[in-house]
Amino acid sequence: MDTVFCNVTAVTMDEAMHILPGAFVGVRGGRIAYIGRKMPAEPVKEAIDGTGMVLMPGLINCHTHLAMTGLRGWSDDKPLQPWLEDCGRIEDKLDDRAVRCMTQLGLMELLRFGTTSFSDMYDHVDAIAQAVAECGIKANLARGTTMFLGDGFDWRTFPACVELRECVEKWHEYDDGRIRIEASVHGEYTSTYQLWEALADYAADENLGMHVHLSETRDEHEACLERNGLTPAQVLDCHRVWDTRAMAAHCVWLDEEDMGLLARRHVSAVHCPVSNLKLGSGIAPVVKLRAEGMNVALGTDSAASNNNLDLFEEIKTAALLAKVQSGDPSALPAAEVLKMATRGGALAQGRDDECGQIAIGMDADLILLDFTQPHLIPCHNVVSQLVYAASGHDVALTMVRGRILYRDGTFPTIDELAVLRELKDYVIPNFFEAKDEDKTGDKA
Amino acid sequence: MDTVFCNVTAVTMDEAMHILPGAFVGVRGGRIAYIGRKMPAEPVKEAIDGTGMVLMPGLINCHTHLAMTGLRGWSDDKPLQPWLEDCGRIEDKLDDRAVRCMTQLGLMELLRFGTTSFSDMYDHVDAIAQAVAECGIKANLARGTTMFLGDGFDWRTFPACVELRECVEKWHEYDDGRIRIEASVHGEYTSTYQLWEALADYAADENLGMHVHLSETRDEHEACLERNGLTPAQVLDCHRVWDTRAMAAHCVWLDEEDMGLLARRHVSAVHCPVSNLKLGSGIAPVVKLRAEGMNVALGTDSAASNNNLDLFEEIKTAALLAKVQSGDPSALPAAEVLKMATRGGALAQGRDDECGQIAIGMDADLILLDFTQPHLIPCHNVVSQLVYAASGHDVALTMVRGRILYRDGTFPTIDELAVLRELKDYVIPNFFEAKDEDKTGDKA
């Protein structure tokens, strides 16, 4: 056995939501190989004392733009349009080197807060994939694509599509599927049907996932309805976008017909409650989405609209918003929202056969939380504690496929000081200087 | 000089919201005695290196029931009535010893997350005051009082009023005002005018504050309107409850007339957004409360309805909810909500002349946050970072009146192990055992 977590409280997140106090969980060859009440009989390379600790499956963050971690706090408390412009002015200038550095910064934060797999949408995907490959985390990396050219569009030469195909060639199924490349229609409002159909057909042919922003704002949703007589979900459906495994980020303004349609097409909704609040977009109808049969996962969105990547905040916020939205404090109880952050995410990523629960044969994508701190005492109910009292800061160890990627403030696979130096010496001076001129308004 | 924080970024929270990078802040005799760009000339007992750190005024948590920290996670995801019953069955049995222990547990959490002063409402106030006296934190302690006896009420012999008077005698203005005792009408719906008038007159005579639950739920608000033809704010006004410095917790369902009335009476609203969401009560109209002239402070409410005491969560949640409520992402910007958590709290507590900002002569109620961690990098905007990216976990040091009460995981004035032992050996077995029989329903 490579590693055994000893005497932990294991929250399995399997169908029965077992809570196993005093458990021993063993890892061999990157997978969970043992779950018992005592040390396994075979020799053990590393025994990790888990007394007072909770072991659970790693969290799955299904909607990020990780490179935007460098834009954390760059533009806050502004309406959507000036915010987009503030961010866009920086993003338009970025090069691979800057994207790689800011991605590494985001990777540290994901791991520190207990995320073991994430779904990203951005450009410069090759640079992002390199950082992910080195770091050891799992990722579905989508090449977010916008296109307004209309009929002149040629799929073979359109730069974003060329980049997508190159990334698929180079990175798709890298390291036995640890990295997967996905297609991405950025949104209904930022492209036309020529792109949708080309990407949809390509994704279906290559068995790629599809990552889309859907009905995030009321304006976006209603403008589409006015233009087409159909909602974004319906228009994209007409153009085959849901023909492959797809995830739709936000889903704030879906109507019930949309929900039924997307459920039938097995599209997962990715609920990003903090970002939706911060940009004033609204509150996604999570209880209804689930009642209509949709799988719902959670996402932080980028650090520019959040402003951190601690998915425990989304877990708590999702549960709280469901209660106030329905006026029913029993809505979206703790166990359900924790499932969204683990198994729901795994299903959305097409990884439900490999992670999202603690079970023999699953990848050892695990996090250990320190439950000995005052704010987690007493512990009458472990699941409730994880959802309502804990935070990503309580994560002491993050493991992906049996490899420790975060432990007590250190990142064994990332050179933290080099990343911070690169940010300070290259990224900030080259892309963020002349800050005041770049902004649309003053800050408080 | 007793202590100097060296090379910190100081967020002063004074009227001009100065941000002072590379600042040196000196403390003498429990007060802020120096703010400069270099070490003060006089001898310094302890110099604390603040490189990469942010120094700000301690947070002020204006609505807690601290002893309920022991009920964290005891009853979640339930409607209000079964939740109240679950908690009440435990609370009815509590003795001074248990309340003292659970209060100490809550004090550790407050300090660990950067709170330097709090306003509590509970019974067993003598036990709570003892714990607060030993620990060194500031507190306004209200004896929450309910009463349904009607005309038979005798102020001189009613037990809660006797307890209040004894506590005023023993604890009011203890340690030069570090502890203040307050009167408390628990709520309009849990007492009658005889109590209101008796407490109001006593509070006015003794110059005590008044702490009230006000219009937390729609039912409570509308039932009062139906019974009296007046809202809770108006009814209590008729009976002199706002004649002294008062704080009204929740204020979720106030109408505009209420807001104007309470503003004129200088009543502070205490916004408890996380608790209000978790119990499904609603979202307080914070932007309107402020527009109508009310001072708004923040509170966690108890750990039984939150489930932690990290006021940074309230700060972020308040800002986010204001945006989604108004559909305007520029509503309640970062600096404004941070003021609510510091100066707003100080004003609500009647402590605005002693704390809530970094200024010469103010008490040294200060917190130091570690901004060198990945999730707080880069830092384009310190105030935005504090509100949207930071958490109480980032607090490295908490100081009240120049005395360090929390530092890097340790509590110099609290015997952490003794508190945890008392909780485990006395409180849990005596008050929480036979848990299953005590609960109204099953847990997930």
pLDDT for residue A379 is more than 50? yes
pLDDT for residue B442 is more than 50? no
At residue B368, the 3 state secondary structure works out as strand
ipTM: 0.96
Continuous H helices in A352-409? 382-384
Query: Which residues from chain A sit within 8 angstroms of residue B308, using beta carbons?
Result: 375, 388-389
Q: For residue A94, give the amino acid letter.
A: L
* CB distance A67 to A139 below 8 Å: no
Portions of chain B given CATH number 3.20.20.140: 59-348
Residue B440: other Cβ atoms inside 10 A: 13
The answer to whether the bond into B378 is cis (omega within 30° of 0) is yes
pLDDT tens per residue, range A189-202: 999 999 999 999 99
pLDDT tens per residue, range B236-269: 999 999 999 999 999 999 999 999 999 999 999 9
| Binary contact (A389, B303; C-beta < 8 A) | yes
| d(C-alpha A14, C-alpha A230), whole Å | 39
End-to-end CA distance of chain A: 56
Question: Using CB atoms, which residue from A108, A319, A378 is nearest to B423?
Answer: A378
pLDDT for residue A42 is more than 50? yes
Question: Using CB atoms, which residue from A76, A283, A323 is nearest to B384?
Answer: A76
Question: Using CB atoms, which residue from A77, A329, A380 is nearest to B279?
Answer: A329
The answer to whether the bond into B159 is cis (omega within 30° of 0) is no
Characterize A303-338 residue by residue with b for buried, 16 or more Cβ atoms within 10 angstroms of its Cβ, and e for exposed.
Answer: bbbbbbbbbbbbbbbbbbbbbbbbeebbbbbbbbbb
Maximum Cα–Cα distance across chain B: 67
Q: What is the pLDDT of residue A435?
A: 52
Mean pLDDT of chain A: 96
| Binary contact (A388, B277; C-beta < 8 A) | no
Fold classification of B3-57+355-407 is: Urease, subunit C; domain 1 (2.30.40)
pLDDT tens per residue, range B198-219: 999 999 999 999 999 999 999 9
Portions of chain A given CATH number 2.30.40.10: 3-57+355-407
pLDDT tens per residue, range B91-132: 999 999 999 999 999 999 999 999 999 999 999 999 999 999
Which of B17, B222, B324, B415 should be substituted to probe chain A, the one whose Cβ sees the most A Cβ atoms within 10 Å? Answer: B324
* CB distance A435 to A428 below 8 Å: no
| Binary contact (A330, B389; C-beta < 8 A) | no
At residue A230, the 3 state secondary structure works out as coil
* CB distance A299 to A63 below 8 Å: yes
| d(C-alpha A118, C-alpha A115), whole Å | 7
User: Binning pLDDT at 50, 70 and 90, where does residue A438 land?
Assistant: very low
Q: Residue holding tokens 């509070």?
A: B203
Q: What is the pLDDT of residue B434?
A: 64
Q: Residue holding tokens 């060859």?
A: A29
Q: Is B378 at the interface with chain A, CB within 8 A?
A: yes
pLDDT for residue A165 is more than 70? yes
CA of A424: which chain B residue's CA is closest? Answer: B378
| d(C-alpha B97, C-alpha B427), whole Å | 8
As a whole number, mean pLDDT of residues B306-334 equals 97
pLDDT tens per residue, range A120-152: 999 999 999 999 999 999 999 999 999 886 667
Maximum Cα–Cα distance across chain A: 67
How far A179 CA lies from chain B's nearest CA (Å)? 23
At residue A341, the 3 state secondary structure works out as helix
Q: Is A441 at the interface with chain B, CB within 8 A?
A: no
How far is Cα of residue A33 from the mean position of the Cα atoms in its chain?
27
| Binary contact (B378, A73; C-beta < 8 A) | yes
Query: Which residues from chain B sit within 8 angstroms of residue A383, using beta carbons?
Result: 443-444
pLDDT for residue A436 is more than 60? no
Beta bridge partners of B6: B49
pLDDT for residue A433 is more than 70? yes
Q: Name the token pair of A6.
A: 């000893």
In the DSSP assignment, the letter for residue B267 is: P
User: Binning pLDDT at 50, 70 and 90, where does residue B152 land?
Assistant: confident
Quote the Cα angle for A91-A93-A98, to 5°: 80
How far A383 CA lies from chain B's nearest CA (Å)? 8
Q: Is A300 at the interface with chain B, CB within 8 A?
A: no
How far A205 CA lies from chain B's nearest CA (Å)? 39
> Which residues of chain B from 1 to 40 reach within 8 Å of chain A, CB to CB?
17
pLDDT for residue B150 is more than 90? no
| Binary contact (B416, A281; C-beta < 8 A) | no
State the sign of the Cα–Cα–Cα–Cα dihedral B249, B255, B261, B263. Answer: positive
Query: Which residues from chain B sit within 8 angstroms of residue A73, using beta carbons?
Result: 378-381, 384-385, 388-389
As a whole number, mean pLDDT of residues A378-384 equals 97
| d(C-alpha B48, C-alpha B4), whole Å | 6
> Which residues of chain B from 91 to 120 reach within 8 Å of chain A, CB to CB?
105, 108-109, 112-113
pLDDT for residue B436 is more than 70? no
Which of B72, B84, B90 should be substituted to probe chain A, the one whose Cβ sees the most A Cβ atoms within 10 Å? Answer: B72
| Binary contact (B77, A373; C-beta < 8 A) | no
As a whole number, mean pLDDT of residues B31-35 equals 98
Q: Is A413 at the interface with chain B, CB within 8 A?
A: no
pLDDT for residue A395 is more than 60? yes
Query: Which residues from chain A sit within 8 angstroms of residue B389, using beta carbons?
Result: 72-73, 303, 306-308
Nearest Cα to B109, choosing from B256, B312, B284, B263? B312
How far A40 CA lies from chain B's nearest CA (Å)? 30
| Binary contact (A74, B381; C-beta < 8 A) | yes
Q: What is the pLDDT of residue A434?
A: 63
Q: Is B380 at the interface with chain A, CB within 8 A?
A: yes
CA of B385: which chain A residue's CA is closest? Answer: A73
pTM exceeds 0.95: yes
Q: What is the pLDDT of residue B220?
A: 95
Q: Is B85 at the interface with chain A, CB within 8 A?
A: no
| Binary contact (B282, A443; C-beta < 8 A) | no
| d(C-alpha B238, C-alpha B188), whole Å | 12
pLDDT for residue A442 is more than 80? no
Q: Is B306 at the interface with chain A, CB within 8 A?
A: yes
CA of A15: which chain B residue's CA is closest? Answer: B444
- Assign domain B59-348 one CATH number from 2.60.120.560, 1.10.10.10, 3.40.30.10, 3.20.20.140: 3.20.20.140
User: Binning pLDDT at 50, 70 and 90, where does residue A440 land?
Assistant: very low
